[in-house]
Structure 1
């Protein structure tokens, strides 16, 4: 059973946001939607360069937040070490042109900004303030020592030191050849006939592997299935929902099925994929990176999803699944589960 997280202070909010991403943001804008006093979706975007106009960027942000149809407000976060000309003057705060554009566009979208904060390596402060009493720079230890931070760490949430896992290859010289030879024996005539022998074999093998520590032989078997498009897509969908219904399968793959996944199993699938990376040659990692990016997208961790998809396209330039998922991510499409607090992933709080 999921447990609700209670956020009572600004430090709690600033502790919560990095845990939803899985890493500490750098030079980023952050947004958290609100439904009354309930926290909704989180979004992080790199601070753009000067060639991007604040109004255009703000319109894109509003478009990405609109799929959270329950949202009636938002919180704004700026992570930067860009110096402020005067920390007590809003007009002198870093990226104030963008902040003003966000206020206009989100108000227009019905998601007005209720509060905001500036977070640097030297401390944090309220963003929308104009006097010394509220603009005082607070120590980062306030965030680390907040009640919510302690709760999330105690519950098992841990931020990554890197945005995406990419372990050193420890397999044999012939591992890649063996993976492709194993994949060559599979034939799938109908990608939505889940009773085909290859489909049944692949799904059963992956189901049994979750929660185990695969060796090189097991990796070759499991990764070989991912080299076959139909098997790869079915295996990925199974990580969220193993329903046999074709309509549900397609909806799950596109993130449009509204039912809450078994998030504990999703986490276990993510762990398995990372373990398999270690025994998978760099040139064959695109399917694994794509699956990891897709799961991160399902969890509402857009930045992590983008990082994994970038690694997939680096591993195999032109890898179509990674390109399609990356395009979907760039359009701002959210998985339906991430827009509903009762079905969304909550790091460290799911059963």
Structure 2
């Protein structure tokens, strides 16, 4: 786990978007603390409907309490919403509810900041003389921001990548032919030649940029549900017992994934999308959303699920994964700094 020294609020505010992979908008950002060290990070949309502050705070606190070593929380309020009434800070009803519920759970908010498009300030400051917005350049120019950029960390400009189709007119036929060859694969018999073929081909392709024929073959494997499920699970675990497979799919495994393999799988899927036309893209978008969810990037996951349903309305796997996401489910590995993706420890 990488260790970074944070000496200013700007350092913390610079790190959080890099952990997410994008700049949050109209969001609450929270990071648990384990003494002086950073624990897990959570971003959640600021409610726009009739969710009561108390209910919202209870749900949020239940997630943060799963970091059993946490003893405090840092809060970030990302919004351009104007305050309602005379209070100078927006969404104060939700923030106060969070303060009460987190305190009750033994996780007091140690500090908090308001970040807008115009600047940032201490959220809990009550002195008008010192509560003025400070320039966002202080965040961008912070030591941690410079470090993250230097190490190659880049924030997304769009939540879900959607490469344009560059394949030939034959690409769809090639994908369909591969899927047809897999029709008789025995779902849970991983000695079945179809499973063996697909798993070997996928393993060989990781870290490469296949040509159209190979790309269509790989995309074709994903059109067969039993093979697709096996390839999805392989990203996290090669286990072949049903209990582990089920736990992998639902994010209940606690062992640290091979994150380099996850990144390589994501890169391969994006490459395959360029050779995959029409409704067949749904399987790839759904897979990408699931990987993003495992990485703790629920907003990115939701964007990929949306794309999957746009190209194939009613896509079964996407609907199931999206329901899990909407219910607030979080993968177990993301709740532990030792197993979470791109874990960074602040001191």
Is 1:160 aligned to residue 156 of structure 2? yes
Please report how far the alpha carbon of residue 318 of structure 1 lies from its aligned counterpart in structure 2 after TM superposition: 1.3
Superposition pairs for residues 137-148 of structure 1, below 5 Å?
A: 137-148=133-144
Residues 158 and 212 from structure 1, CA distance in 2 versus in 1: closer, same or farther, beyond 3 angstroms? same
Residues 347 and 149 from structure 1, CA distance in 2 versus in 1: closer, same or farther, beyond 3 angstroms? farther
Please report how far the alpha carbon of residue 41 of structure 1 lies from its aligned counterpart in structure 2 after TM superposition: 2.0
Q: Please give the alpha-carbon distance, in whole angstroms, between the structure 2 residues aligned to 1:85 and 1:134.
A: 21
Q: Please give the alpha-carbon distance, in whole angstroms, between the structure 1 residues aligned to 2:182 and 2:298.
A: 33
CA RMSD of aligned residues (A): 2.1
Is 1:318 aligned to residue 317 of structure 2? no
Residues 322 and 6 from structure 1, CA distance in 2 versus in 1: closer, same or farther, beyond 3 angstroms? farther
**Other-structure match for 1:57:** 56
Matched-pair contact (CA < 8 Å) for 1:289–1:309: yes
- Equivalent of residue 288 in structure 1, options 284, 292, 298: 284
Matched-pair contact (CA < 8 Å) for 1:43–1:302: no
**Other-structure match for 1:236:** 232
**Other-structure match for 2:297:** 301
Q: Please give the alpha-carbon distance, in whole angstroms, between the structure 2 residues aligned to 1:261 and 1:37.
A: 26
Matched-pair contact (CA < 8 Å) for 1:33–1:65: yes
Aligned partner of residue 145 in structure 2, secondary structure: helix
Q: Please give the alpha-carbon distance, in whole angstroms, between the structure 2 residues aligned to 1:259 and 1:36.
A: 24
Is 1:213 aligned to residue 218 of structure 2? no
Residues 112 and 188 from structure 1, CA distance in 2 versus in 1: closer, same or farther, beyond 3 angstroms? farther
Residues 159 and 347 from structure 1, CA distance in 2 versus in 1: closer, same or farther, beyond 3 angstroms? farther
Aligned partner of residue 92 in structure 1, secondary structure: coil
Residues 85 and 323 from structure 1, CA distance in 2 versus in 1: closer, same or farther, beyond 3 angstroms? closer
Count of matched residue pairs: 345
Q: Please give the alpha-carbon distance, in whole angstroms, between the structure 1 residues aligned to 2:311 and 2:108.
A: 41
Aligned partner of residue 3 in structure 2, secondary structure: coil
Matched-pair contact (CA < 8 Å) for 1:155–1:348: no
Residues 111 and 4 from structure 1, CA distance in 2 versus in 1: closer, same or farther, beyond 3 angstroms? same
Aligned partner of residue 4 in structure 1, secondary structure: strand
**Other-structure match for 2:110:** 114
Q: Please give the alpha-carbon distance, in whole angstroms, between the structure 2 residues aligned to 1:241 and 1:5.
A: 30
Superposition pairs for residues 79-158 of structure 1, below 5 Å?
A: 79-84=78-83, 91-132=87-128, 134-158=130-154
TM-score for both structures, normalised by structure 1: 0.92
Residues 284 and 83 from structure 1, CA distance in 2 versus in 1: closer, same or farther, beyond 3 angstroms? same
Is 1:331 aligned to residue 330 of structure 2? no
Unaligned runs of 5+ in 1: none
Q: Please give the alpha-carbon distance, in whole angstroms, between the structure 1 residues aligned to 2:259 and 2:40.
A: 16
Q: Please give the alpha-carbon distance, in whole angstroms, between the structure 2 residues aligned to 1:326 and 1:304.
A: 12
Higher alpha-carbon deviation: 290-299 or 234-243: 234-243
**Other-structure match for 2:267:** 271
Cα displacement string for residues 82-133 of structure 1 (whole angstroms, at most 9, x for unaligned residues): 23479xx8x3211111111111222233322221111011111010110135
Q: Please give the alpha-carbon distance, in whole angstroms, between the structure 2 residues aligned to 1:209 and 1:296.
A: 20
**Other-structure match for 1:73:** 72
Please report how far the alpha carbon of residue 301 of structure 1 lies from its aligned counterpart in structure 2 after TM superposition: 1.1
Q: Please give the alpha-carbon distance, in whole angstroms, between the structure 2 residues aligned to 1:318 and 1:151.
A: 43
**Other-structure match for 2:33:** 34
Matched-pair contact (CA < 8 Å) for 1:157–1:348: no
TM-score for both structures, normalised by structure 2: 0.93
Residues 238 and 134 from structure 1, CA distance in 2 versus in 1: closer, same or farther, beyond 3 angstroms? farther
> Structure 1 residue runs of 4+, over 6 Å off?
none
Unaligned runs of 5+ in 2: none
**Other-structure match for 2:20:** 21
Aligned partner of residue 32 in structure 1, secondary structure: strand
